Structure 1
């Protein structure tokens, strides 16, 4: 069964890489006709397909995350800004104003996987935010040198009885059933990756005042501590 699963994962990864080629070609064609309003609408739909394919690729990599893990010092606000640029077409389609507030901070984390977490949170916020509202990234540093990155939306909020289950695999909740747009995977994957790379995810929501998703970066990275300890014990 394990061997069959590995074969299936290799097949899915191969399919994803193959489909990225026509997607890239489509992107280049659309870039030459930005003045056409129909092309701009197609760009938003292209972005949704791209996000689904990209998420599937990360899902195939998730079991081997430990071997695809590179720590570096990165700016939290820069990570958020990079994801905002990636999803700009979708934000413009819904007329969402996106701002980044607070004092910037540097954390030690894996840039690629951390951006994946932010992307899942941002995708979720855009999906459920009403047209013409705003999204806010806010950073803060505590006295214990823990770094917070909050994503605040003005959506419908999450029902109290749904809050304990939002990170469960396949759970769509009341909003997902109403909008029929949820797979129950985005927040589950974000939470799973966060736990693996030493980031804590929390949610605060009061209906109908919106939702705040908080990423907490601790002052030290547990994975890096273990890795260094193992390296120190390797005989020369």
Structure 2
């Protein structure tokens, strides 16, 4: 409102000054021409009255139009009411720009959806190939010792490829994530045990040992079971991936405080430098550790944070270089 009033008077200031100056000049002219004292106050009152009347009429025509302009900034399809010819021309121009923009937006959206459809289909097809490779590995793993060592390396890379493709799929699904989750009560301890068991081969192949010590085994949290699994698996994968020595451990702990439950996942890995710590949730940021670990993509923690934010969870990270990293997830606990 203040902005509209200020702009209104600033735009009409030159007319106001012109009208007042005109009245003063006419008064001075008649004073010198007639040679008598000419009434000054009366012409000024008439001028002020006419200016005020004009401004009031103009204000009602201007205010509604400017109010609609502000509404269009918030809602693109808001109807613009125009009073003057100039305003009507502006309204036509805005309508033309909106139609042109909507057409372009629809084309971009259509192209985007087609690309996402194709990409999702291709990824699922690749995952089928990965499954076939896994079956071939299992079939030939124990034929002889030399082949077993080779197949173990192939299996490791195959698992990494599968995890990366799954990560890309989750990244694609973020756009429609708000329509694809259902908050339910989940027993956190049982859920954590299940995810650790699913990733058992990854722990074994990486010589990392999970340590689950928690007195809070009956804590229920409010979350989406499928998407919370994505968060936890991403953090566990990072804890395994960034270990530098064999026989490292990853510690899991559950605490309950008030209406919140906290899951802590602490590793003994390489740690994150302070200057990278504040950027780790940015998409595609890999930092110094990413240059050391070739499988780093920089989207895992970004996906985890976006999912957590939508589900109403929070993720905190503390880390020391050479000591390890502790990731804590805060959940709303079911009372």
Range of TM-score over shorter length: 0.7 to 0.9
Residue number in structure 2 paired with 1:92: 204
Q: How many residues align structurally?
A: 219
Residue number in structure 2 paired with 1:224: none
Higher helix share: 2
**Larger Rg belongs to:** 2
| 1:45 pairs with one of 132, 149, 157 | 157
Q: Which blocks of at least 5 consecutive residues in structure 1 are unaligned? A: 221-236
What's the CA shift string for 1:107-150, capped at 9, x where partnerless?
Answer: 121111001011111111111112221111111111x1311111
Structure 1 residue ranges (4+ consecutive) displaced by more than 6 angstroms after TM superposition: none
Contact 1:154–1:209, Cα closer than 8 Å, also in 2: yes
Contact 1:43–1:89, Cα closer than 8 Å, also in 2: no
Residue number in structure 1 paired with 2:255: 140
* Stretch deviating more after TM superposition (179-188 or 167-176): 179-188
Q: Which blocks of at least 5 consecutive residues in structure 2 are unaligned? A: 1-107, 143-147
Q: 1:62-141 residue pairs with structure 2 within 5 A?
A: 62-102=174-214, 103-104=216-217, 105-130=219-244, 131-141=246-256
Residue number in structure 2 paired with 1:214: 328
| 1:200 pairs with one of 302, 310, 314 | 314
Contact 1:12–1:60, Cα closer than 8 Å, also in 2: no
Quickly say closer, same or farther: Cα 1:6–1:123, change in 2 above 3 A: same
What's the CA shift string for 1:166-199, capped at 9, x where partnerless?
Answer: 1111211222223344221111111111111111
* Stretch deviating more after TM superposition (173-182 or 9-18): 173-182
Quickly say closer, same or farther: Cα 1:16–1:63, change in 2 above 3 A: same
Contact 1:69–1:110, Cα closer than 8 Å, also in 2: yes
In structure 2, distance between residues paired with 1:52 and 1:182: 9
* Stretch deviating more after TM superposition (172-181 or 211-220): 172-181
In structure 2, distance between residues paired with 1:46 and 1:182: 15
Residue number in structure 1 paired with 2:96: none
Higher relative contact order (CA 8 A, sep 6+): 1
In structure 2, distance between residues paired with 1:24 and 1:85: 19
* Stretch deviating more after TM superposition (195-204 or 17-26): 17-26
Quickly say closer, same or farther: Cα 1:140–1:34, change in 2 above 3 A: farther
| 2:286 pairs with one of 159, 172, 176 | 172
Quickly say closer, same or farther: Cα 1:107–1:34, change in 2 above 3 A: farther
- 3-state SS of paired residue (2:284): coil
With normalisation by structure 1, the TM-score equals 0.86
Q: 1:175-186 residue pairs with structure 2 within 5 A?
A: 175-186=289-300
In structure 2, distance between residues paired with 1:109 and 1:184: 25
| 1:17 pairs with one of 121, 124, 127 | 124
In structure 1, distance between residues paired with 2:310 and 2:251: 26
RMSD over aligned Cα, in angstroms? Answer: 1.7
Contact 1:77–1:100, Cα closer than 8 Å, also in 2: no
In structure 1, distance between residues paired with 2:236 and 2:197: 11
In structure 2, distance between residues paired with 1:43 and 1:82: 22
Task: For residue 210 of structure 1, report the CA deviation from its aligned partner.
Answer: 0.7
Task: For residue 33 of structure 1, report the CA deviation from its aligned partner.
Answer: 4.0
In structure 1, distance between residues paired with 2:322 and 2:278: 18
Residue number in structure 1 paired with 2:137: 30
